[in-house]
Amino acid sequence: MKNRFIWLGILLIIVGVFAIGCYTVLMHPRVQGEEEENIEHTGTYYREHCTDCHGDYHSYPYGYYYGFYPDYYWSNPRWGHYYAYPWWWDRYWWDYDDDAEYVPPSEEKAERRRGLEPPYVPETKTPVPFISVPPSRTEEQPVQIKKEEPKAPQPKEPKKEEKPKDEKAEKRRRE
Amino acid sequence: MIRRLVSIVAVVFYFLMFSFFVANSQELGVVDEATAGNFFGVGARAMGMGGAHIAVASDATALVYNPAGLARVKRIEFSGGLTHQRLRNKTGGLTFVGIQPQSTAVNFNDGRLQSNTRLSSANIVLPVPTYRGSLVFAFGVNRIKSFDRAMKFTFAQDGSGGIESESGGLYMWSFGTAVDISPNVSVGGAFNFFSGTDNYSWLYEDSYDDGYLSFKYKYDDTIKDRYSGFNFKFGVRVQPNKFLIVGGTIDSPVTYTIREDWTQTTDTVFYYPEAYWIQYYDSDNPEYKISLPFSLGIGIALNFSNLLLAGDVHYADWTQMEYKRLWDMAEANRNIKDSYTDVLRWHVGAEYLFPGIGTTLRAGYYQNPLPYKSTWIKKDRDGITFGIGFLIDQVMTVDLAWVHGSWELNDFNIELAEKYTTNKIFLTTAYHF
């Protein structure tokens, strides 16, 4: 009987963690207005343009571990750029369409793919607020997708010196 | 003539009774349960640090040490390992304290060497893509207990003596998962299925010759136990800041089902003046259960730049062990209460990383007390460990550890001193992609 209570307790903890709610998020929460959105992966859709809603995206990108890494993770890229860097950030051979035209990574993506850096400080040296208001929203409005005139990203002229920062991707691209 | 016949009958009766007594003792096996307090170690990195890994584990070995540590894995990981153990047993006569002379009953410098190489682990870790936090699944098999052991002694007077030999181990098949429940707190759990075999043999040979009556006696006992069972391990890992990691684990009780095959043979040959041969043979294949108690563990790790210090404490109360469905169960369980005790096992270790060359050096120490309440224990089990790890081409790690352990027992019944030393090599490699 005692063992049954123990097992029941363990089961309740597990169910509680997964059912009631958890810090870990597997899927992006639905945002008001999404249902009406004509979902096309144009680069303007909020799931692909994280910084539209999340001003702190550079600090805490998709899959980022908020915790603490030892110093050597940052001082030595052999550790930091690999073991602190989730596998789903990599691009593998099955991601590639050989016939497709190469599109250089956007600035945000390139920033992310260069790996993690200790508390990110943008070039302005002003720390990004932890929760930021999307640029297309007024302060009173909840976070939602702007239905009209989705903000298209400004095409960037590929600069030679910006492109090859991610050597791994560059190498694969050449192959 | 009648006196001589009485002597023969008396000797035969003595050995038959002895055989019967030993047979029953082995059937109960209450004083030496192989799975109790049996820590072998898993993973070269962990064992290089003396097994102090509750707070540190952040790879596939977290399945064994602390499932919550799986949450720190960001790369798909395949890992495997093997172990090599050389166990050396030395026996001799007891040296008495005080004015009493050294016993000459048992030969000095006798003993036995046993070496085994085993595949010890194979694990897969799969982190699930997350938007925030961490969710990781893992599956693997690890050899968590080793039954490899040997002992030999010889009496100085007539060359009679015994050889005890044991081999096998217990494998733990695990399915584990871990999840972040806050930025710095992870919880994890693993369902474990245990399976393994323990092959035990005890050979005792004796002879007697007084010029009038002589005999040779051989007793052979073989036991094969097949273990199976399951339990659940729960773990938590907290990292309040960059320098400190704290972990805790709870191992639920595990009930092993033991399917046993045992055989016992006794050969006695008398020469009086013709040879008389008496043989005794018995065998059985009983099935019974034994439940092991809760086990609790706490670990702490301190991170100073490239230096990592770690310490673990494990607690288990072995008096709570309980036989089930065993013949003469009440006596067996009473003997457990009388013979066993609660044990605090502790581990400390350090790791220093040279980031530029992707190499780590490790050292550690652990004390793993025998779970018996016995005056026979002269020196408890402990081990000193050293290790080295290499990062190869970023995606692959190779770790090596050496563990040197020892313990000593004094058997006051036959004035036998037993000393055991083990040298274990752990080799683990992992590929991350």
pLDDT tens digit sequence for B85-98: 999 998 887 765 44
Give which of A31, A47, A68 to mutate to test B binding, by max B Cβ within 10 Å. A68
B301 versus B157: the higher-pLDDT residue is B301
pLDDT tens digit string along B310-334? 999 999 999 999 888 777 788 888 8
The predicted structure's pLDDT at residue A32: 62
CA distance A71 to chain B (A): 6
Per-residue pLDDT for B13 more than 60?
A: no
H-type alpha helices, B95-232:
none
Residue of B nearest to A17 (CA): B181
B181–A66 C-beta distance less than 8 A = no
Helix or strand (DSSP H, E) at B178: strand B161-182
CB count within 10 Å of CB B104 equals 12
Q: Which residues of A touch B127 (CB under 8 A)?
A: 86-87
- Overall average pLDDT of the A108-120 stretch: 38
3-state secondary structure of A167: helix
**Interface residues on A facing B, Cβ-Cβ cutoff 8 A:** 3, 6-7, 10, 13-14, 17-18, 22-28, 62-63, 65-72, 75-76, 78-79, 82-88
- Positive or negative: CA dihedral B87, B172, B38, B263: negative
Per-residue pLDDT for A142 more than 80?
A: no
The predicted structure's pLDDT at residue B142: 96
Percent of residues, chain B, with pLDDT higher than 90: 58
Q: How many beta-carbon pairs below 8 A join chains A and B?
A: 105
The predicted structure's pLDDT at residue A100: 56
- Overall average pLDDT of the B46-65 stretch: 95
pLDDT tens digit string along B255-311? 999 999 999 999 988 877 777 888 889 999 999 999 999 999 999 999 988 899 999
Per-residue pLDDT for B50 more than 90?
A: yes
Homologous superfamily assigned to B2-432? Outer membrane protein transport protein (OMPP1/FadL/TodX) (2.40.160.60)
Q: Which residues of B touch A88 (CB under 8 A)?
A: 129
The predicted structure's pLDDT at residue B29: 35
Q: Which residues of B touch A66 (CB under 8 A)?
A: 132, 183-184
Per-residue pLDDT for A40 more than 90?
A: no
A68–B180 C-beta distance less than 8 A = no
The predicted structure's pLDDT at residue A91: 60
CA distance B246 to chain A (A): 13
B189–A10 C-beta distance less than 8 A = yes
B58, B137 in Cβ contact below 8 A? no
CA distance A27 to chain B (A): 6
Tokens encoding B161: 């003596």
3-state secondary structure of A79: helix
B356–A66 C-beta distance less than 8 A = no
Weakest-pLDDT range from A141-150, B80-89, B334-343: A141-150
Per-residue pLDDT for B42 more than 70?
A: yes
A65–B74 C-beta distance less than 8 A = yes
d(CA B127, CA B119): 25
- Overall average pLDDT of the B39-62 stretch: 95
Residue of A nearest to B244 (CA): A68
d(CA B55, CA B53): 5
B305–A87 C-beta distance less than 8 A = no
d(CA B147, CA B169): 5
- Of A6, A17, A83, which is closest to B181 when you measure between CB atoms? A17
CA distance B123 to chain A (A): 17
Q: Calculate helix-pair angle for B329-339, B2-28, nearest 10 degrees.
A: 80
Residues in chain A: 175
A51 versus A137: the higher-pLDDT residue is A51
Per-residue pLDDT for A46 more than 80?
A: no
Per-residue pLDDT for B211 more than 80?
A: no
Q: Which residues of B touch A1 (CB under 8 A)?
A: none
DSSP state of A99: T
* Structure confidence at residue B347 as a pLDDT band (50, 70, 90): very high
Q: Which residues of B touch A72 (CB under 8 A)?
A: 305-306, 353, 355
The predicted structure's pLDDT at residue B97: 46
Q: Which residues of A touch B131 (CB under 8 A)?
A: 25-28, 62-63
pLDDT tens digit string along B356-408? 888 999 999 999 999 988 778 888 999 999 999 998 888 899 999 999 999 99
Q: Which residues of B touch A79 (CB under 8 A)?
A: 355, 358, 391
B266, B217 in Cβ contact below 8 A? yes
Q: Which residues of A touch B67 (CB under 8 A)?
A: none
The predicted structure's pLDDT at residue A23: 82
Q: Which residues of B touch A85 (CB under 8 A)?
A: 74
The predicted structure's pLDDT at residue B41: 93
Weakest-pLDDT range from A89-103, A122-136, B94-108, B353-367: A122-136
CA distance B136 to chain A (A): 11
- Of B129, B134, B394, which is closest to A82 when you measure between CB atoms? B394
A61 versus A88: the higher-pLDDT residue is A88
Weakest-pLDDT range from A53-67, B31-45, B137-151, B186-200: A53-67
Percent of residues, chain B, with pLDDT higher than 70: 89
Per-residue pLDDT for B233 more than 50?
A: yes
d(CA B23, CA B264): 7
- ipTM for the predicted complex comes to 0.74
* Structure confidence at residue B31 as a pLDDT band (50, 70, 90): low
The predicted structure's pLDDT at residue A92: 58
The predicted structure's pLDDT at residue A156: 46
Highest mean pLDDT among A30-44, B63-77, B270-284: B63-77
* Structure confidence at residue A20 as a pLDDT band (50, 70, 90): low
Highest mean pLDDT among A152-156, B247-251, B320-324: B247-251
Per-residue pLDDT for B174 more than 80?
A: yes
* Structure confidence at residue B137 as a pLDDT band (50, 70, 90): very high
**Interface residues on B facing A, Cβ-Cβ cutoff 8 A:** 72, 74-76, 127-135, 179-184, 187, 189, 232, 234, 239, 241-242, 252-253, 303, 305-306, 308, 353, 355-356, 358, 391, 394-395, 432-433
B150: closest CA among B117, B119, B115? B115
* Structure confidence at residue B346 as a pLDDT band (50, 70, 90): very high
Residue of A nearest to B189 (CA): A14
The predicted structure's pLDDT at residue A37: 52
B187–A70 C-beta distance less than 8 A = no
- Overall average pLDDT of the B204-210 stretch: 83
The predicted structure's pLDDT at residue B156: 72
Residues in chain B: 433
- Of A7, A25, A83, which is closest to B132 when you measure between CB atoms? A25
Per-residue pLDDT for B176 more than 60?
A: yes
* Structure confidence at residue A171 as a pLDDT band (50, 70, 90): low
The predicted structure's pLDDT at residue A44: 46
pTM above 0.90, yes or no: no
B433–A70 C-beta distance less than 8 A = no
d(CA B90, CA B154): 11
Work out the mean pLDDT of chain B and round it to a whole number: 86
- Of A7, A14, A67, which is closest to B184 when you measure between CB atoms? A67
* Structure confidence at residue A167 as a pLDDT band (50, 70, 90): low
d(CA B149, CA B389): 29
A140, A88 in Cβ contact below 8 A? no
